[in-house]
Amino acid sequence: MAARPPIVRLKPGRDRSLRQRHPWLFSGAIAAVEGDPPSGATVEVRAADGDLLALAAWSPASQIRARAWSFEPCTIDASFIAARIRRAIDARAATPDAPRDGARLVHGESDGLPGLVADRYADVVVVQLGSAGAEAWRDAIVEALAGATRARAIVERSDADVRALEGLAPRVGVVRGALPDPLVFREQGIEYAVDVLAGQKTGFYLDQRDSRRIVGAHAAGRRVLNAFCYTGGFTLACLAGGAAHVTSIDSSAPALALAQANLARNPALNASRAQWLEADVFAELRRLRDAAATFDLIVLDPPKFAPTAQHAERAARAYKDVNLLALKLLAPGGHLATFSCSGGIDAALFRKIVAGAALDARADAAVVGRFAASADHPVALAFPEGEYLKGLLIRKA
Ligand code: SAH
């Protein structure tokens, strides 16, 4: 029998957020801690009046001092973790049109597994441990993913910046099995090679799957500009959708090399329609504007300019700048698919920023569609922070 977990007692009136099943407990809400629980240990979080609010993973280094595993009394052990992982995977299997080849299997807080991300690429699973709690259950997580997916390899990409905030060192490597080289998966009939050991995120932006499909469907006959192209997801989707020509820009040479290899892997896409530029998007869009270039469809999918709300103001300027340039480059009747994956900028603020850009560009423009992460990236209703990715499809008059 495991010992009863240590108790973390909250200050009076600081229990609201956990009662609303928001999984984060901030350090400022804590009145007292029983003993000195180690990083990742399970603690009982109790209100000032003694009510049990949650069983949570303790994270002594982080401002998010604990993350809830459960709001009901239960035992947090390897079988609890395995059941949550199985629940996440089963939910996806039961979703209509669920992607089988490239998909997120576990999406952290929104799947009741704070800090844990697992993505599947063909028969390889990539796991990312981003919290003290996930780190503490590493062996159980790997075991459960191996059992639930029968993956031929499991790779760990625990090197996201959030690890430092949790007091955890980065860890990257093949945990089980052997990694095929190259590792190739399919999305909407297109083959992509993915660098799961060194690529961004777990190697691919799986959250943009639906957006790539929708944008690709707007590409027929269009002259397309794909800014921040990474390994060519939107580029290949647009070529498959019948684009006349696609110019793609990224500042990362390895990303562009993989993008070009991905295009070569799909000979039906006729690579002569693609042009690749290794450049800073801000500088390149100014250069194109000065050259009076125009495009019929522009994709702007920049990196997170505002990881948290503290960065929102500077980020807002960057979003406005790049959207203003894009709206100037857009031909009349053209479409702009513009995204923000910044947690610190919500959908309403993003819309305002884009509206400001249109005003300054003297462009009459309307929202004709909205984008969000695909269904394998759920957003728990109690966890609005999960809604980091938003996008607008804008039509210029
Ligand atoms: N749309 C892509 C994902 C984009 S991720 C997809 O669907 O896969 C953001 C990309 O922006 C990264 O590849 C990064 O290398 C690139 N990037 C970041 N800052 C940049 C800048 N100033 N100029 C050009 N590219 C930049």
Task: Indicate if ligand 1 lies below 6 Å from the C-beta of 210.
Answer: no
143-168 confidence digits (pLDDT tens): 999 999 999 999 999 999 999 999 99
**Nearest Cα to 5, choosing from 65, 58, 51, 84?**
58
258-301 confidence digits (pLDDT tens): 999 999 999 999 999 999 999 999 999 999 999 999 999 999 99
Q: Token digits for 192?
A: 């992509």
pLDDT recorded at residue 357: 98
Q: Token digits for 370?
A: 């909205």
Dist CA 7 CA 74 (whole Å) = 14
321-365 confidence digits (pLDDT tens): 999 999 999 999 999 999 999 988 999 999 999 999 999 999 999
Share of the chain above pLDDT 90, in %: 95
pLDDT greater than 90 at residue 100 = no
What is the best residue among 119, 121, 230, 322 to mutate for testing ligand 1's pocket, by most ligand atoms within 8 Å of CB? 230
Contact 132, 39 (CB under 8 A): yes
Q: pTM for this structure? A: 0.96
**260 burial type by CB count under 10 A (0-12 exposed, 13-18 middle, 19+ buried):** middle
Dist CA 139 CA 122 (whole Å) = 22
The Å distance, Cα 122 to ligand 1 centre, comes to 24
Average pLDDT, integer, range 72-85? 98
Dihedral, 153, 158, 160, 161 alpha carbons, nearest 10: -170
15-59 confidence digits (pLDDT tens): 999 999 999 999 999 999 999 999 999 999 999 999 999 999 999
Band (308; pLDDT cuts 50, 70, 90): confident
Angle at which helices 209-216 and 233-240 pack, to 10 degrees?
A: 40
Q: Which atom of ligand 1 is nearest to the CA of 228?
A: 11
The Å distance, Cα 281 to ligand 1 centre, comes to 9
What are the phi and psi torsion angles at 300 (to 5°)?
-120, 105
Q: Say which of 74, 229, 238, 341 is annotated catalytic.
A: 341
Share of the chain above pLDDT 70, in %: 99
Angle at CA 258, nearest 5°, toward 315 and 243? 80
Compute the mean pLDDT over every residue in the chain, rounded to the nearest whole number.
Answer: 97
Contact 378, 112 (CB under 8 A): no
Dist CA 354 CA 339 (whole Å) = 10
Band (312; pLDDT cuts 50, 70, 90): confident
The Å distance, Cα 169 to ligand 1 centre, comes to 25
Q: Taking the CB of residue 163, how many other CB atoms lie within 10 A of it?
A: 21
The Å distance, Cα 280 to ligand 1 centre, comes to 9
Tell me the Cα Rg of the chain: 22
Dist CA 340 CA 306 (whole Å) = 9
Task: Indicate if ligand 1 lies below 6 Å from the C-beta of 250.
Answer: yes
The Å distance, Cα 199 to ligand 1 centre, comes to 12
What is the best residue among 213, 250, 297 to mutate for testing ligand 1's pocket, by most ligand atoms within 8 Å of CB? 250
Q: Token digits for 163?
A: 């690890």
pLDDT greater than 70 at residue 389 = yes
For residue 181, what is the DSSP state?
S
Dist CA 392 CA 336 (whole Å) = 8
Task: Indicate if ligand 1 lies below 6 Å from the C-beta of 230.
Answer: yes
| Atom 22 of ligand 1, residue of closest alpha carbon | 280
pLDDT recorded at residue 2: 61
pLDDT recorded at residue 1: 47
What is the best residue among 228, 239, 276 to mutate for testing ligand 1's pocket, by most ligand atoms within 8 Å of CB? 228
Is position 238 annotated as part of the catalytic site? no
The Å distance, Cα 228 to ligand 1 centre, comes to 3
Contact 160, 128 (CB under 8 A): yes
Contact 193, 262 (CB under 8 A): yes
Contact 216, 237 (CB under 8 A): yes
Task: Indicate if ligand 1 lies below 6 Å from the C-beta of 195.
Answer: no
